[in-house]
Structure 1
Amino acid sequence: MATAPSATATVTATAHGERAHSNLQFPDYRRNVALKYVKRGYTFLMAYLVTIAVVPLAGMLLLELANMYRTGELTRLASIAKQTDLSFNLVTVLVTIAALVAAICSYFLLRTRPVYLVDYQVFRADESWIATYARFMNGSRSCKRFTDEALEFQEKILVRSGLGQQTYLPPAVQVAPPQCTMANARLEFEEVVFPIVEQLLAKTGIHPKQIGILVLNCSLFNPTPSLAAMVINKFKMRSNILSYNLAGMGCSASPISIDLAKQLLQLHPSTYALVISTENITQNWYFGNDRDKLLPNCLFRVGGAAILLSNRRREAW
């Protein structure tokens, strides 16, 4: 006589099934596959989709023609054409060939070249440049240019700004009395920009003469010779480099510089573009008591970044 399975056996089987299911370990593809390479591969595929599709078709057509020639089918087709008095309109053939050539040339000449970010470097100042809240307020008091109300306003803005205690100000502003001269402004630029460009070139292994485009933006400090000329002279870049010095554009200058470099890379193949973005504090420090003009003193600090772009295909990987 058959007996019904016991509840204990059912529970045991269920627990065994759950344990077996929990032992199934699926691979974590997020760790096994570098997503950046997947993204690069997808970008490459989309950029050259037409070429990838046309080249195999052209190869298959050539192979088929070669096979027809080997088997004598092309000769047979030619003899059939002669027997049936098949003729071609020369003008139509020439126009068709010219249209195909023009279409191919237009595709290769007018297509958008991909622009790659090779590397970048940001500025990190020396510890002596650090401007803590206390150091900032001590400097403001020691210069004896601000009223008590202006000092109180600056302290209130500092606390609420969210800048933190690790921001930087140039030494010329922090000494007493401040020495906001053009010479010190140029020195600030050199100490910010030259090191980041050197570090960027060292990281990428790019020689300065390989750079064909230089775009530099600094809104408030624009001496003559230009800041871009200072960079070219410092690193002995080539004489025919395309250099642009953007000024007076405020916070929008950085994306404008990137876009300008991108547009120039569409016109000049197989080259590098160096984009430098910075701002100069030394000569633009405000010593009055107008609250609107005191805000930049409290909010803006030293900074700089150098970005290397390229349209060379090898930089895609």
Structure 2
Amino acid sequence: MDLLLLLTVLHLARTVASLVRAVVARRRQSQCYLLDYVCYKPCDGRKVSTEMAGHVIERNQRLGLPEYRFLLRVMVRSGIGEESYCPRNILEGREDTPTHQDALDEMDAFFDAAVAKLFHKTGLGPRDVDVLVVNVSMFSRAPSLASRIVGRFGMREDVAAFNLSGMGCSAGFVSLDLARNALRTRATSVALVVSTESIAPNWYAGTDRSMMMGNCLFRCGGSAALLTNDPSLGRRAKMALRHLVRENTAGDEEAHTCALQREDGDGRVGISLSKALPRVAGRALTLNLGRLAPRILPVSELARFAAGTMRKKLLSRGRVKHGGPKINFKTGVEHFCIHPGGTAVVEGVKGSLGLNASDVEPALMTLHRWGNTSASSLWYVLSYMEAKQRLKRGDRVLMLTFGSGFKCNSCLWEVKGYMADKGVWAQCINEYPPECITNPYADKYSWVNDVQGDTIVF
């Protein structure tokens, strides 16, 4: 009996040890580390100056004086400076007649620069990639762009490749979530996430005001990031992904149609941005942060907010209601990485979260230097923070982005390693932030501000 009891105990001990090892291995495998990332800087010959932007608008012979003034006013208020980038076909005056090759050339230039540089920085090669996720919202070709990257860089035959389209500016986090989930099913693996947008074939040449604004706001850019769940690689990672929350309000018709690709009355295709966009974005932001806050904020802050809300309800019975208490996200976050979709977008988030000028500086400076580069924009904002050496070990970085659908996605990173790479900001970071940002468009087209009657919605 004693021997049988001893064997039973040993068996149970081995079983428990195996379970513990499995739980530890599972936990390690569920970790998601950012090894490194690269933002794309097009060549200087593709910069869009004030003169060039005005000239492109003047080329559209369909525009009457009201539409011309409207577009100039959008540029004046956009927050974009003199050094953002556009595709070659627009510089060459062919925006109205783009070719399939124009789109491919735009993608290949980005792949050859950013993806190749990322492999060089990390010391990893294309055949080390187990998972590839590519997101380009406005260009879906066959074979896919993911397959194009596999072939261009000679990746392994068993690489799990995913290609996303139609996901808008928040596609970067959709790709990030997909890559993280794919890594959870593969032990000690590496994922490459590639985010960009196709501008070359998507210039809107019509006169619908809700569809003309995209021409003024969106610019060329892109990012490539390497992620891993391998603990040995994680030791040299820059950041660790702690939380990711996705909110999609497409079940609501107003939200679904507030940023929509469609034809205008003349059959020309473009992206329509409705006047409901700010309201829809605010609602999606509230829903997203409502799910995110309990995961990242201390209990003391959640208790303070709950007590304040309860007090407001008790005191406001039968009285005029005033604004209630706000959650202080700074109790759980040191840095805020906000999608630079436009000045109004950044200022709206600033007000909603109670942030200060320093908190939104990276987003506004990114908008000024690079414009809205769609799904890759947040990586330029993060790169600004890194170039300014703001990110210290243990700091938490909240990334927040919006996109058609309508979607609001957020994620929280924890800084794990030394971050001081100036990246694409290397040649200009010392110039930011300037004491006073001059608006070259306002200087040249100041007269358009005197025109009344139009509303900028984004």
Check whether TM > 0.5. yes
1:202-281 map, 5 Å:
202-281=120-199
- CA distance 1:196–1:302, change in 2 (3 Å): same
Whether the 8 Å CA contact 2:28–2:231 is kept in 1: the answer is: no
Determine which structure has more spread, i.e. the larger CA radius of gyration. Answer: 1
Q: C-alpha displacement at 1:102, in angstroms?
A: 4.7
The 4+ residue runs of structure 1 with deviation greater than 6 A are: none
- The residue that corresponds to 1:154 in the other structure is 71
Deviations 1:130-150 (A, max 9, x none): 112221110221242322222
Match of 1:176 in 2: 93
What residue in structure 2 maps to residue 104 of structure 1? Answer: 20
Pairwise CA RMSD of aligned residues? 2.0
Question: In 2, distance between residues paired with 1:314 and 1:93?
Answer: 34
* Match of residue 205 from structure 2: 287
Q: Note the residue ranges of structure 1 that are not aligned, 5 or more in a row.
A: 1-84
1:289–1:90 CA distance, 2 compared to 1 (3 A): same
**Deviation per residue, 1:40-65 (Å, 9 max, x gap):** xxxxxxxxxxxxxxxxxxxxxxxxxx
- Map of 1:144 onto structure 2: 61
**CA deviation after TM superposition for structure 1 residue 213, in Å:** 0.8
Taking every aligned residue pair, what percent have the same amino acid on both sides?
Answer: 33
2:179·2:193 contact (CA, 8 Å) conserved in 1? Answer: yes
Distance 1:98 1:313, change over 3 A: closer
Shift of 1:86: 5.5
TM-superposed deviation, 1:94: 6.5
Q: How far did residue 115 of structure 1 move?
A: 2.1
Structure 2 residue identity aligned to 1:231: I
Aligned-partner Cα distance in 2 for 1:166–1:284: 21
**Structure 1 residues 269 and 96: alpha-carbon distance in aligned structure 2, compared to 1, 3 A threshold:** closer
| Residues 157 and 99 of structure 1, relative CA distance in 2, 3 Å threshold | same
How far apart in 2 are the matches of 1:294 and 1:288? 7
- Tell me the TM-score normalised to structure 1 length: 0.69
Q: List alignment gaps of at least 5 residues for structure 2.
A: 237-458
CA distance in 1, matches of 2:3, 2:230: 48
What TM-score does the superposition give when structure 2 sets the normalisation length? Answer: 0.48
CA distance in 1, matches of 2:161, 2:68: 42
Task: Report the CA distance between 1:265 and its aligned residue.
Answer: 1.6
Shift of residue 109, structure 1, vs aligned partner: 4.6
Counterpart of 2:401 in structure 1 is none
1:173 positional shift: 1.6
Deviation at 1:255, TM superposition (A): 1.0
- 1:166 corresponding residue in structure 2: 83
Cα distance between partner residues in 2 of 1:200 and 1:220: 24
The range that moved more, 259-268 or 93-102, is 93-102
- Counterpart mapping for 1:6-155 below 5 A: 88-89=4-5, 92-93=8-9, 96-97=12-13, 99-113=15-29, 114-155=31-72
In the alignment, which residue of structure 1 is the partner of 2:436? none
SS at structure 2 position matched to 1:117: strand
8 Å contact kept, 2:28–2:229: no
Decide whether aligned partners of structure 1 residues 242 and 100 sit closer, same or farther in structure 2, where only a CA change above 3 A counts.
same
CA distance in 2, matches of 1:296, 1:124: 21
Offset at residue 192 of structure 1 (A): 1.7
The more displaced of 171-180 and 196-205 is: 171-180
SS of 2:84 mapped into structure 1:
coil
Q: Deviations over 1:237-290 (max 9, x none)?
A: 111100000111111110111121112122212221110000011111100111
**How far apart are residue 105 of structure 1 and its match?**
4.5
SS of match in other structure, 1:286: coil
Q: Cα distance 1:95–1:198, how it changes in 2: closer, same or farther (>3 A)?
A: closer
Answer whether contact 1:137 1:151 (CA < 8 A) is retained.
no
One-letter amino acid matched to 1:205? G
Structure 1 pair 88/237, CA: closer, same or farther in 2 (3 Å)? Answer: closer
Cα distance in 2, alignment partners of residues 103 and 263 from structure 1: 22
Decide which moves more: 291-300 or 89-98.
89-98
